[in-house]
Amino acid sequence: MTSSAPRLRFGIIADPQYAAAEPDLRLDRYFVNSLDKLSEAVRRLNAEDLDFVLTLGDVIDRGFENFDAVLSVYAGLRHECLFLPGNHDFKVEEARLGEVHGRLGMAAPYYDLVRNGCRIVVIEGSDISLFAPPPGDPRRATAEEMLRALQQAGAVNAQTWNGGVGAAQLVWLSERLALAEEAGETVIVMGHYPLFPHNEHNLWNAEEVAGLLVRSPAVAAYFCGHNHTGNYGELGGTHFVNFRGMVDTERENAFALVEVFDDRIDITGFGREPSRRLALR
């Protein structure tokens, strides 16, 4: 029997990537226009009864000062506003790298929350990277080693603008999934970097993290941004949804409304974002 009422309703935004900068015509990215697109998304999402709105990273394109303008638009949301950072959010002065999570209102780089039998698990894919840890942090050396190994293996995601999930975070993620399984919760994991299908934008240790999610009977889906053209894959009954970037194109928007039912997840896309119905195992 199909459930009549959703257990959870929330908004998803990916890659607004705002900056007070000229457009990148080669990549079809219009940084300034994201403020108007975001305002439209806020108006549309404010018309809904939602549990929260979550942005899948790259709130800015560069420059710590650009957080002010874009976060002032988010302030118009009447819903709880959740964030996770993307690689571009760390394109700031080195002295301010440690301020990025706090500027996005995050108490920790990765976190989870439980609402009505659903657990939202937010991971930090820039944990091991060449740009997010401050200079001198041992995670930068780990990132160099991880990237070198991928390059030697000829991996398409051996890109300096990707990152990885570190050992401590993997332990934490396993613990959160175990808690969800014990409680009989439905889990949606959120991150910036794709895990599946195979793509040049994927997390450095995408296969390891995807395997962890697929092995957990609690995990229904993984949502991400980063690859602005969007993508979708299904692996072992787990849905991997890559949402399209808001910053792309001069006029077209991209955001979504997500409803979680007992038997499915419905995604209503706006603008360039396609709508989907995902059956749950």
Domain over 8-279 is classified CATH 3.60.21.10? yes
Q: What is the pLDDT of residue 105?
A: 98
Average pLDDT taken over every residue of the chain? 97
**3-class secondary structure per residue, the chain:** CCCCCCCEEEEEECCCCECCCCCECCCCECCCCHHHHHHHHHHHHHCCCCCEEEECCCCECCCCCHHHHHHHHHCCCCCCEEECCCHHHHCCCHHHHHHHHHHCCCCCCCEEEEECCEEEEECCCCCECCCCCCCCCHHHHHHHHHHHHHHHCCCCCCCCCCCECCHHHHHHHHHHHHHHHHHCCEEEEECCCCCCCCCCCCCCCHHHHHHHHHHCCCEEEEEECCCCCCEEEEECCEEEEECCCCCECCCCCEEEEEEECCCEEEEEEEECCCCEEEECC
Using a 10 angstrom Cβ sphere, with 0-12 exposed, 13-18 middle and 19 or more buried, the burial of residue 182 is: exposed
Q: 199 — phi, psi (to 5°)?
A: -160, 155
168-210 pLDDT, tens per residue? 999 999 999 999 999 999 999 999 999 999 999 999 999 999 9
pLDDT above 50: residue 23 = yes
Using the predicted structure, report yes or no on whether residue 271 has a pLDDT greater than 80: yes
**CA–CA distance from 163 to each of 66, 123, 197 (Å)?**
23, 12, 17
The pLDDT value recorded for residue 1 is 41
pTM of the model: 0.97
- pLDDT confidence bin for 3, thresholds 50/70/90: low
Domain assignments of the chain as residue spans, ordered by start: 8-279
Give the distance from CA 181 to its chain's centroid.
23
Q: Residue 101: its pLDDT value, please?
A: 98
- At residue 227, the pLDDT reads 98
Across 1-10, 84-93, 158-167, 231-240, least confident range: 1-10
Beta strands 81-83 and 276-279 are: unpaired
The Cα–Cα gap between 15 and 38 comes to: 10
pLDDT recorded at residue 137: 96
Strand partners, 219: 187
- Is the pLDDT confidence value at 2 over 70? no
